[in-house]
Amino acid sequence: MNRIDRAFKRLRASGGKAFIPYIMAGDPNIETTMERVLMLEECGADIIELGVPFSDPVADGPTIQRAAERAIKAGVSLKRMLSFMTELRKRSQVPIIFMTYYNPVFKYGEENFIEDAAAAGVDGMIIPDLPPEEAGGLIKECHAKGINTIFLVAPTSTAERMKVIAFASRGFIYYVSMTGITGSKLSPEEQFRGHLGRLKELTGRPVAIGFGISNPDDARNMAAFADGVIVGSAIVRKFHEDPGGAREFIKKLREAI
Amino acid sequence: MPALLELEAEYAKAKKDRSFLDELELLQKTYIGRPTALYFAKRLTEYLGGAKIYLKREDLAHTGAHKINNAIGQALLAKKMGKKRVIAETGAGQHGVATATGAALVGLECEIYMGSIDIKRQALNVFRMKLLGAKVNEVSIGSQTLKDAINESMRDWTTNVRTTHYVLGTVFGPHPFPSMVRDFQAVIGKEAKRQILKAEGRLPDCLIACVGGGSNAMGLFNEFLADNIRMIGVEAGGRGIEGGQHAARFAGGSIGVLQGCKTYLLQDEDGNVLETHSVSAGLDYASVGPQHAFFKDAGRVEYTYAVDDEAMAAFELLSRTEGIIPALESAHAIAEAAKVAPKMSGDKIIIVNLSGRGDKDVQQVAKIKGIEIC
């Protein structure tokens, strides 16, 4: 069983909610990333999203974009991240999702990449610039190799679109808490409460909420009506600006969820 | 994605809507100043000593470049779709000016994204956009040029999709943009065909246009695709292909997927997009419209490049022989004409798309030549 599915199964049994932190791999370097992944696991992360840097991250805000610039400078690429995963799997079985963009995958070769990623122990894939309509080949490869494909539902998504996305997704569905990019400010929750409810009616899969969750209070609010909460920019910022305070911040997020 | 589907549906409706097309046609005539002239460049032809060179004078269109053809079309469409606000990216500033103009014309709010480097080298156009009531947002992340301005526009569009239409400026990005922008620019080739038949009684032998994203080239070429005519697209060779400081995607790139389309791309082995260089901001871009990639692979259009120095020489050549100061982008097409025309006999005909005027570049050229003008 895929590690992500196992995590949600465990949480469902215990009534808990998934805490899914995001960090940019290679920011500031790959050695630190290894330490931070282990630290996130230790602090209670259920699943970890690893950003694999790309030069043109159109779905990300400035915080993650600048982190990606630093990571590229540090020499981190998709290829480098696969050897990282092989190392990590000797030390940890925490579920790992790669979040990257389509061009690095295309350049690597879709089929080869999925095969190598599965062998290295990657559990899930988020490629925000690849809509499900264009992802047929990748979805097939991933599912054949036991990797979950996770697609994003936006507050503007129609019921019809939510069906397409739910059908293409495995593991969980990523619900974007607002229209926009990662790290933006939150919109009033009632705006998406109803919409999220419709999504839950359409699918039996877990739904995790991300984008714009910047503190434990946000995380607590979101956790109330989802199966998991994804925190990205706020953690990336904390690690960059105040690495010493990061552990405390992450623990508080965990407690809130 | 839903925004793209909405746009596709709305554009398909507009394309068949007589009142939309009539309004566009009237504005093309009375506001943009179409048809633009097809001008026989007699002295340039004599100087080069070969094929007859005609210039399609898009530089005479309102706001000084072909960009207005697309911007007015999309501004009308945005209005029809009930959007309150338009946004656009710009490199050289021509598309930003054109969009700001279109927004003022139909009464929409307008914000333009422009890289910091481009803001510096196209200061005049930045001020023009502001005069037209647009807000200019500086993009100081990434390469700080056109590519990053597109990224920021896409981010804005994703955030404000309910109220906002993104006026993409070239035959690039996700469907329906490449087809829609081609359609709005196709007027260039339609007029040119009519005009050359009237002037010469026959079709030309060769068409030349510069290719950044590729909208002016698509606009000229589209009408002639079925004809047996040589077509040349000219990319920015920058400081030469070898050193990597260029924007020649066909000469130095490989296939990739960026900003919603699969096409030729300047990228490294990890799939990260490379920095580009060109003296011309409008051509300084790591990717190219997907239709051009198709024409390249199908062998229908030849793609070559002109380096900065050649473009600069062509800029001066056209100014002196014809009294026309071309945009640095268009100067790349003139540079290619200067290479091709002398090899052709005097009874052959070339049409060069003079996509924009060079007023915006005068300061930049003076700076490169080490001349202080203010």
Per residue in A131-189, pLDDT tens?
Answer: 999 999 999 999 999 999 999 998 888 889 999 999 999 999 999 887 556 666 555 55
Q: Which residue of A has its CA nearest to B269?
A: A107
Residue ranges of chain A whose CB lies within 8 Å of a chain B CB = 53-59, 61-62, 65-66, 69, 72, 77-79, 102-108, 129, 131, 133, 154, 156-158, 161, 178-181, 184
pLDDT reported for residue A76: 98
Per residue in B95-114, pLDDT tens?
Answer: 999 999 999 999 999 999 99
Distance CA A61, CA B71 (A): 27
Three-class SS of residue B226?
coil
Distance CA B194, CA B203 (A): 9
Residue B234 to residues A121, B47, B185: CA-CA distances in angstroms? Answer: 46, 21, 18
CB contact under 8 A, A103 and B141: no
For residue A236, pLDDT over 90 is answered with: yes
More confident residue, A249 or B281: A249
For residue A191, pLDDT over 80 is answered with: no
| Phi and psi angles of residue B166, each rounded to the nearest 5 degrees, phi first | -95, 115
pLDDT-derived band of residue A193, with 50, 70 and 90 as boundaries?
confident
pLDDT-derived band of residue A196, with 50, 70 and 90 as boundaries?
confident
- Interface A-B, measured as beta-carbon pairs within 8 A, has a size of 81
Provide the token pair at B354: 């003079």
Distance CA A197, CA A202 (A): 9
pLDDT-derived band of residue B363, with 50, 70 and 90 as boundaries?
confident
Per residue in B220-266, pLDDT tens?
Answer: 999 999 999 999 999 999 999 998 999 999 999 999 999 999 999 99
Query: Hey, what's the torsion of the CAs at B256, B261, B262, B264, to 10 degrees?
Result: -60
Q: Which residue of B has its CA nearest to A61?
A: B155
Residue A55 to chain B, least CA–CA distance (Å): 5
- From the list A57, A62, A103, the residue facing B267 with the nearest CB is A103
CB contact under 8 A, B2 and A133: no
For residue A223, pLDDT over 70 is answered with: yes
pLDDT reported for residue B38: 98
Residue B288 to chain A, least CA–CA distance (Å): 15
pLDDT reported for residue B92: 83
> Is residue B67 flagged as an active site residue?
yes
Per the listing, tokens 């340039």 go with B44
Nearest Cα residue to A54 out of A108, A131, A120:
A108
pLDDT reported for residue A116: 98
Structure ipTM: 0.92
Three-class SS of residue B270?
coil
The separation between CA B101 and the C-alpha centre of its own chain, rounded to angstroms, equals: 16
Look at the alpha carbons of B80, B83, B85, B86 in this order and tell me if their dihedral is positive or negative: negative
Distance CA B224, CA B210 (A): 16
Q: Which residue of B has its CA nearest to A105?
A: B271
Asked if residues A199 and A154 have their Cβ atoms less than 8 Å apart, the reply is no
CB contact under 8 A, A54 and B159: no
pLDDT reported for residue B190: 98
Chain A contact set for B6 (CB, 8 A): none
Q: Which residue of B has its CA nearest to A63?
A: B141
Nearest Cα residue to A128 out of A60, A27, A184, A37:
A60
The separation between CA A221 and the C-alpha centre of its own chain, rounded to angstroms, equals: 19
For residue B11, pLDDT over 70 is answered with: yes
The residue-averaged pLDDT of A112-132 equals 97
Per residue in B14-56, pLDDT tens?
Answer: 999 999 999 999 999 999 999 999 999 999 999 999 999 999 9
Distance CA A232, CA A181 (A): 11
CB contact under 8 A, B155 and A77: no
pLDDT reported for residue A184: 62
Provide the token pair at A75: 């020499």
